[in-house]
Structure 1
């Protein structure tokens, strides 16, 4: 019995990786120059951003055209799935580093600094209680409470996870109206989450005196919530692109991994937020 082997698609050599490398070099070097108040820093930074946007539109546009013309088979689809899985794993490790720093500070560093000889000889009067700015003198601040905007944002993100899943079910059963409506609702919920997060930051600075330089609590709070907000922004952009493609008639019940990848990423930011809400806001 003979077996027909599927041909694996091999793309032509691309110019976009070198453009991406140049963009990241300009982006990073421009940011450093800007921080050191070099006059050309902002220009180099934003030129890097422009080149990066050109690369993203060009490269992903090429991939979309190749996909829509039927050049990708099961093997390519499988390689995409593995790639997205490893990418999300790398993001898990990224956040694990920040959660690990918070855990170490709360469980080991702060109690150690406020106990025994450390407290008596080095930091007299330091109370090892969380939240704290640390043993160094710092302006008083009010920690961000869990029950308010953070709890509302938790409900919003959980709802967005449900709407993107509802959209996926609509695509699988061929209900394109449900698919597009679910995507639209997910994007709107993501934008609402970001709007509330911006308001929360303004409230922290203006009313709570909670800033990035408010010791260990301020730095871990803004690093974790800020990077999560960045990932929500990226996820919302991805889903907006998926909505545009859905309106253009892309995706079928059998062939839609680009949407699935964006949905995986969105569920990932949902899970990170749940953990973040518990250990940063609640406990």
Structure 2
């Protein structure tokens, strides 16, 4: 059952990734994600249904428009593959539980917001703010389904705590991050808090660790200097997703280092 669920989630993720390509392209431009239908930016020809199969169509078309042979960016299948992989990984981790829809939504939002932030250095309110309501509904549904209302309390506390941490950081060090990062932090804190206190701690730390590593890499590769603005949203989202998978072993390792690990 777990293997089947993982495979099905991966296939759904490929389809969702195809839609996320539309979101990433249109939302920063203030365009509708449902109309008009997708078309080639080169010749304006509508995308046929047979040319809209995730990944496969791009491969069969050799990465070019069927009508005008304009190149189609490899990022389109990359987004689809990434979303499919994340959906499969989340399904394998969470399993067939009430929490699965909530964390699949988190994976989808993470892909969309990461690519948008990389493109335009902005985390659109039209995605971030509704995610508070979506997270509240899905995480409350997960608590209702599992009977774990303590997790719902942790989600509220986690969202509040991480938001306040980012808000204080934003106020103390202006320019260090954007206010969009602050708004996103509350959503991530809720998801991490629902998962567990260890996930909240690891996810909060991982965001800054990944962000610092990215900044160092940019400098070492000569792509920027100390004043270069680097989107922090992708690091926040990567840290949150990573924490779901590694928080427990990392917390156990840390408690062992400080001598607080429970005895066997």
Taking structure 1 as the reference length, the TM-score comes to 0.28
- Who wins on radius of gyration, i.e. which is larger? 1
